[in-house]
């Protein structure tokens, strides 16, 4: 791997090959997309954590009900994050790899 910044979990060999051969401007775009995902992820995680904390602390229900509610809200928040933020950005990242100069030259589709 030439550039650790372009590494992603569950990345295929084709994706790794294309990511290793991105031009400087394509790497900047990939970095911008990764930063956007990170910033939105941090905002979403902090806001969900605060909502869950206040629900847990200030509701009059038993601790078992509170725990189940918090777990449900955590899972729901994660799924909403994936649907609204994570998947669209991953789609843009995949499109960036497919439309890169190297991928077009080699005829690679990831």
In a domain, 110, yes or no: no
State the total domains in the chain: 1
Positive or negative, the CA dihedral 52, 58, 60, 64 is positive
**Structural domain that includes position 55:** 14-100
Q: Indicate whether 33 belongs to any domain.
A: yes
Distance CA 104, CA 84 (A): 29
Domain assignment present for residue 79? The answer is yes
Distance of CA 77 to the CA centre of its chain: 14
Per residue of the chain (110 residues), give pLDDT as tens. Answer: 566 667 777 788 898 889 888 899 998 998 898 898 889 889 988 988 898 888 888 888 888 888 898 889 889 988 988 898 888 988 998 899 999 999 999 998 88
Give the per-residue SS3 of 55-84: HHHHCCCCHHHHHHHHHHHHHHHHHHHHHH
Q: What global pTM score does this model have?
A: 0.75
């Amino acid at each position: 791997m030439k550039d650790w910044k372009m590494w992603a979990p569950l990345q295929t060999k084709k994706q790794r090959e294309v990511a290793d051969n991105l031009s400087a401007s394509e790497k900047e775009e990939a970095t911008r997309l990764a930063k956007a995902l990170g910033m939105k992820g941090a905002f979403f995680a902090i806001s969900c954590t605060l909502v869950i904390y206040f629900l847990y602390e200030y509701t009059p229900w038993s601790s078992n009900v509170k725990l189940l509610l918090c777990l449900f809200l955590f899972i729901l928040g994660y799924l909403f994050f994936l649907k609204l933020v994570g998947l669209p950005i991953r789609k843009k990242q995949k499109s960036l790899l497919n439309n890169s100069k190297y991928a077009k030259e080699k005829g690679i589709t990831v």
